[in-house]
Structure 1
Amino acid sequence: MSNGQEKARQNLVGFQRWAATQTDEDFEQIVHRGQLNRGELAKAIGIGKSALRQNPAIKDALETLEQGLRERGVLPPLTQEASVQRSQPKRYDPTVNQKALESRRLSALEQENIELKARVATLEAKLKRYGELSEVLTEFGVAPDA
């Protein structure tokens, strides 16, 4: 059994070996939204995507690799806005979970509303038909039971 630090070193070595064997054309095939596709990269190395985000050594090595690829023209240059976003931590939005719950509830309510409208239309059609039947029976002198 290996501990976490040993596993982290093994993952870093795996990343470095993988990066050393790739050509610019190989990197171009896994570019997604101006950076290397993290999922494809993790699969190729044989590690989890979380290691790319949580292992500081891999994170730094990946950032250095992407910067080198930008300088060689394999990756597009970072825009000013993207550079600022990378240097600042993401703001925590406490309303995200509430918005997701409200969105799911809204969808369920809209679906129920559509179903109820269809049921009301069906019942109104039946009521109209039975109302006409009641009028005919009343005209013939047969009073329907209420």
Structure 2
Amino acid sequence: MASGQQKAQQNLDAFQSWVATQQDDDFKQIVFRGQLNRIEVAKAVGCGKSALNQNPDIRKDLKKLEDNLRDRGVLPPLTDTAKKDADKPKQYDNTANRKALNSTRSSSLEAENIELKSKIKELEGKLKRFGELSETLSEMGFMPR
């Protein structure tokens, strides 16, 4: 079995071979949010997506490739914000999952609330109609037992 360093080198070699065989049109097909789709690149190279992020040599080569593609107009240029935040690590939002759950719960409660309001109006209409019927029957002297 290959050691971690050997596997990293194999992945780097596979990545470099893949890049050498691609044309600009091939890269255009896997653009996602202004960069190459990491999942598609990993599939094409035959490695895990984590190798693209964790292997410093692949990460460096991928950045060079994307910069080169931007210069040639294959990828859109980076925005000023993206350039400024490129070297900064992304801040982890530990409340994102809770926010998503709350949003889902809120929308389901709103739908249930609308449904119940509709049912209340329907029942109030029936109550009004049967209240009038009961009043008419009592005026006529026919009280139900």
Which TM class, normalised by the smaller chain length? 0.7 to 0.9
Match of 2:64 in 1: 64
Which residue number corresponds to residue 29 of structure 2? 29
**Residue matched to 1:84:** 84
- The percentage of counterpart residues that share the same residue type is 61
What's the CA shift for 1:66? 1.0
Distance 1:139 1:5, change over 3 A: farther
Amino acid at match of 2:39: G
Q: CA deviation at 1:107?
A: 1.2
Residue matched to 2:123: 123
The CA deviation at 1:5 is 4.1
**CA 1:5–1:116 in 2, change beyond 3 Å: closer, same or farther?**
farther
Unaligned ranges ≥5, structure 1? none
Calculate the TM-score normalised by the size of structure 2: 0.83
Pair 1:19 & 2:10 matched: no
Looking at structure 1, the residues matched to 121 and 7 of structure 2 have their Cα atoms a distance apart, in angstroms, of: 64
Aligned to 1:73: 73
For 2:122, give the aligned amino acid: T
Residues 29 and 101 of structure 1: CA distance in aligned 2, closer, same or farther (over 3 Å): closer
Distance in 1, Cα, partners of 2:51 & 2:101:
30
- 1:90-140 Cα shifts (integer Å, max 9, x gaps): 123333233222212211210210121121122112212211220121022
Measure the CA separation in 2 of the matches of 1:135 and 1:4. Answer: 87
Alignment partner of 2:86: what SS?
helix
* Partner SS, residue 51 of structure 2: helix
| Alignment length (residue pairs) | 145
Deviations 1:43-71 (A, max 9, x none): 22233333322333322221111122223
Q: Which residue of structure 1 aligns with residue 50 of structure 2?
A: 50
Q: Please give the alpha-carbon distance, in whole angstroms, between the structure 1 residues aligned to 2:19 and 2:80.
A: 27
Q: Decide whether aligned partners of structure 1 residues 7 and 114 sit closer, same or farther in structure 2, where only a CA change above 3 A counts.
A: farther
- Name the Cα RMSD after superposition: 2.1
Is the counterpart of residue 99 in structure 1 residue 99 in structure 2?
yes
Report the TM-score when normalising by structure 1.
0.83
Letter of the structure 1 residue corresponding to residue 76 of structure 2:
P
Q: Distance in 1 between matches of 2:92 and 2:101?
A: 17
